[in-house]
Amino acid sequence: MTEYLHESVFTWAATPLKFGAGAVDEIGWDLAGQGLTRVLLLTDPGVAATGVPQRVADSATAAGVAVEIYDGVHVEPTDASVRDAVEFARHSDWDGFLGVGGGSAIDTAKAVNLMTTYPADLFDYINKPIGGGRAPGGPLKPLVAVPTTAGTGSETTPVCIMDLLELKVKSGISHPALRPTTAVIDPLLTLSMPPEVTAAGGMDVLCHALESYTAKPFHSFARHTPQTRVAYNGANPISDTWTEKALRLLARSFRRAVLNGGDLDARTDMMLAATFAGMGFGNAGVHIPHACAYPIAGKVRAYRPRNYPSREALVPHGESVSLTAPAAFRFTFPTDPDKHVHAAEILDPAAAEHDPRERLPWALSRLMRDIGIPNGLAGVGFGESDVPSLVDGALQQQRLLSVAPREVGDDHVAAILADSLENW
């Protein structure tokens, strides 16, 4: 067999999907077609109030599939809220699951599918080094994802994320078996998203696209065996194709979707962008902004996003990811100036007037100002004295940092966080 020093193989997978206005009303047919008869639908109270979960349940019932709704999903799930959902799910037997909502509902559905199919302590499954990184005992039950935000791409990714309350850090479970079996993606469902949720979700999409586009290329990793090859392969020609397409859609429609939520063309572009970015980062991976986002969200003190549906202190995932993005891309610029410049010019042609290294940070800051994202870590209540503990939290996300295009040590993370206190 040929001896390779570096990786020469990458893998690519995504959830089979149905996309388009009205797709959700066909869902009964999709569920029955998978042979499902008794399904648990997981959603959060805000999404339940839109009536969408009941519409899904009605369509399923009409197709002969019994559905029970659990509307207790926590917005930005925690280990405690996941355990509550698992406890609820155990009151009956299900032959499949539905996740209806944003990343919070779909991620909770993934965890419930895993924990009810192969019961174990939740921390056994959480990624190393925080948890045991245990693999599921085999295939999971069918999970149909119905996203109602243009954001996480969770409907097509093999991960679920949760806040580990005692450790004050976010982490997750990552395994290809978690990937939903089908996604039904209907942009009409996002028309009711408030501007603040649209802005945060869109920044999540943008960071998925930019981080996977600038990730360490797959061929710079050490050679894996088929047994050790991980879902996050690094940037590769297929993920680059999807992430570039996502950037073009975001450039055209992100501001419009935030400023005029009724613009269906903009909503459709954003839903496609979320899907495309998911197809990219779900295989390439994300790196520094996501690694920093987890302690930023986990260590929040009093910040409450303006007009956000949840009343708890929280930094929505898309906000937490975006805060360090300008500084992170300033740091990764030397690894591939052409890609950074290309991404900046897709996003905002006016970036061309700036020094090449500053183009992407400039385009990001200008966008974030326009759509009302906080202006940096100071805007969500952190100061210089918080940097050391945020560094500790970010360094625990080695699964993500290993996909960064250059070595990231504690001094680098500290400098990126210090550079992110105020972005403009």
Ligand X SMILES: NC(=O)c1ccc[n+]([C@@H]2O[C@H](COP(=O)([O-])OP(=O)(O)OC[C@H]3O[C@@H](n4cnc5c(N)ncnc54)[C@H](O)[C@@H]3O)[C@@H](O)[C@H]2O)c1
Q: How far is the CB of 203 from Fe ion (least distance, A)?
A: 9
Q: Which of ligand X, Fe ion, none sits in contact with 190, Cβ below 5 to 8 A by type?
A: ligand X
Q: How far is the CB of 17 from ligand X (least distance, A)?
A: 15
Q: Which of 30, 79, 163, 204 binds Fe ion (CB under 5 A)?
A: 204
Q: Which residue type does 259 have?
A: L
Q: Smaller CB distance to ligand X: residue 30 or 155?
A: 155
Half-sphere exposure of 214 toward its Cβ, with a 13 Å CA cutoff?
Answer: 31
Q: Which of ligand X, Fe ion, none sits in contact with 157, Cβ below 5 to 8 A by type?
A: ligand X
Q: Which of 60, 140, 159, 203 binds ligand X (CB under 6 A)?
A: 159
Q: Show contacts with ligand X in window 323-362 (CB under 6 A).
A: none
273-292: burial string, b at 16+ Cβ within 10 Å, e else:
bbbbbbbbbbbbbbbbbbbb
Q: Show contacts with Fe ion in window 132-151 (CB under 5 A).
A: none
Instruction: State the DSSP code for 235.
Output: B
Q: What CA–CA distances, in Å, run from 208 to 63, 89, 107, 279?
A: 36, 31, 17, 10
Dihedral, CA atoms, 408, 411, 417, 420, nearest 10 degrees? -90
The neighbour count for residue 408, using CB atoms within 10 Å, is 23
Q: How far is the CB of 318 from Fe ion (least distance, A)?
A: 7
Per CB under 6 A, which region of 59-67, 73-81, 327-335, 415-423 contacts ligand X? 73-81
Q: Smaller CB distance to Fe ion: residue 188 or 200?
A: 200
Q: Are the beta carbons of 104 and 44 closer than 8 angstroms?
A: yes
Number of H helices and E strands in the chain, helices first, is 17, 8
Q: Which of Fe ion, ligand X, none sits in contact with 198, Cβ below 5 to 8 A by type?
A: none
Query: In angstroms, what is the C-alpha Rg of the chain?
Result: 20
Binding of ligand X by 78 (CB under 6 A): no
Q: Give the three-class secondary structure for 274.
A: helix
Q: Show contacts with ligand X in window 30-69 (CB under 6 A).
A: 44, 46-47, 50
Binding of Fe ion by 76 (CB under 5 A): no
Instruction: State the DSSP code for 143.
Output: E
Q: Which of Fe ion, ligand X, none sits in contact with 202, Cβ below 5 to 8 A by type?
A: none
Q: Smaller CB distance to ligand X: residue 161 or 351?
A: 161
Q: Are the beta carbons of 135 and 176 closer than 8 angstroms?
A: no
Binding of ligand X by 142 (CB under 6 A): no
Q: Which of ligand X, Fe ion, none sits in contact with 136, Cβ below 5 to 8 A by type?
A: none
Q: Which of Fe ion, ligand X, none sits in contact with 273, Cβ below 5 to 8 A by type?
A: none
CA distance 399 to 380: 26
Q: Which of Fe ion, ligand X, none sits in contact with 75, Cβ below 5 to 8 A by type?
A: ligand X
Q: Give the three-class secondary structure for 99.
A: strand
Look-up: residue for tokens 């995504």? 14
Question: Which residues of this protein are in contact with ligand X, per CB under 6 A?
Answer: 44, 46-47, 50, 75-77, 101-105, 107, 148-149, 151-154, 157, 159-161, 189-190, 192-193, 197, 200-201, 204, 309-310, 317-318
